[in-house]
Amino acid sequence: MRIFDPHIHMSSRTTRDYQEMYEAGVRAVVEPAFWLGQPRSGLGSFVDYFDSLVGWEPFRAARFGVRHHCAVALNPKEANDPRCAGVVDLLPRYLAKDTVVAVGEVGYDFMTKEEDDAFARQLELAIEFDLPVLVHTPHRDKAAGTRRSLHVVRESGIAPERVIVDHLNELTVRMVLEAGCWAGFSIYPDTKMDETRMVRILQEYGLVRVLVNSAADWGDSDPLKTRRTGEAMLAAGFSADDVDQVLWRNPVACYGQSGRLELEEVPAAPDATFAGDSVLRGPRGVSRRGSGTGTARSSTSCRPARRPAAGRRAPVTRTAR
Ligand SMILES: [Zn+2]
């Protein structure tokens, strides 16, 4: 089973997750920008975060055989914080980078005026940079929030097939598919949407323009929920080809619209480092470097080393465009 997780917040996960994802069949991901778990104090916090999404995180993923892409945006929750005003002006320099395959997550949280403005401006950026856009739908009053999101999308003039509307459920899927957008579903362990309900939605609405993700983040979540959904599909009588469509070909078609996906197998590069640091520990990392300690300690420390320039890429061979 080959899997492309089109929405997963790997910055909040461990390398063990990457390893288990690889073993489960995950070969590529899109990590949308999201919140820190606590309020950010200013623009510099976003710069470091976006830099990590185009630098350190793709490097970390590649060490475990996973192709990492990202989406950047000011997320709806933070659009309400005046300290974050100005983030949208930072976005163009990131939207030009090779591994940035979309604008996102944008959309609504509380549906405030500030969220309205940030949403509309970022849809304009998606059009300007010719990129797909990932729209988060609010967890409260989801149907109204989804309806309003689709209205804003329509007003913006962006092609609906370049829009992913995410975190959907049984109440919101129809309006999104009828609008011509991609329908995204985040599968969680206990809340919101699970793999059994997901299979029922696939049975009712079909496999076209449907994306399944694990959304794994700071909270109770499971980066293997894509795999679990594939297994549930097979158990319900879907074919292996159906699973491949939902878990691989659909996200590839959707984010392939960016022209920036890289899906070739990651070549092994056990000695690779990022700004002098390796993420590998123990025999896989340390002994190959001929050092007993340095790598492990420095790999995750916050030391004043030279920071990689925005857009610095993991030292992997680029073979596909
Ligand atoms: Zn998310």
What is the whole-number distance in angstroms between the Cα of residue 237 and the centre of ligand 1?
A: 30
Bigger pLDDT: 118 vs 283: 118
What is the whole-number distance in angstroms between the Cα of residue 125 and the centre of ligand 1?
A: 19
Residue 183 has pLDDT above 90, yes or no: yes
What is the whole-number distance in angstroms between the Cα of residue 271 and the centre of ligand 1?
A: 32
pLDDT category, 296, cuts 50, 70, 90? very low
Residue 224 has pLDDT above 60, yes or no: yes
Distance in angstroms (rounded) separating the CA atoms of residues 20 and 18: 6
What is the whole-number distance in angstroms between the Cα of residue 135 and the centre of ligand 1?
A: 10
What is the whole-number distance in angstroms between the Cα of residue 33 and the centre of ligand 1?
A: 7
What is the whole-number distance in angstroms between the Cα of residue 9 and the centre of ligand 1?
A: 7
Q: Residues within 5 Å of ion ligand 1 by Cβ?
A: 34
How many other CB atoms are found less than 10 A from the CB of residue 157? 9
Residue 75 has pLDDT above 50, yes or no: yes
What is the whole-number distance in angstroms between the Cα of residue 248 and the centre of ligand 1?
A: 19
pLDDT at residue 282, as a whole number: 52
Residue 297 has pLDDT above 80, yes or no: no
What is the whole-number distance in angstroms between the Cα of residue 298 and the centre of ligand 1?
A: 29
Residue 313 has pLDDT above 90, yes or no: no
pLDDT category, 277, cuts 50, 70, 90? confident
Residue 290 has pLDDT above 70, yes or no: no
Q: What is the pLDDT of residues 114-163, one digit of tens each?
A: 999 999 999 999 999 999 999 999 988 899 999 999 999 999 999 999 99
Q: What is the pLDDT of residues 87-96, one digit of tens each?
A: 999 999 999 9
Q: What is the pTM of this model?
A: 0.86
What is the whole-number distance in angstroms between the Cα of residue 34 and the centre of ligand 1?
A: 6
What is the whole-number distance in angstroms between the Cα of residue 292 and the centre of ligand 1?
A: 38
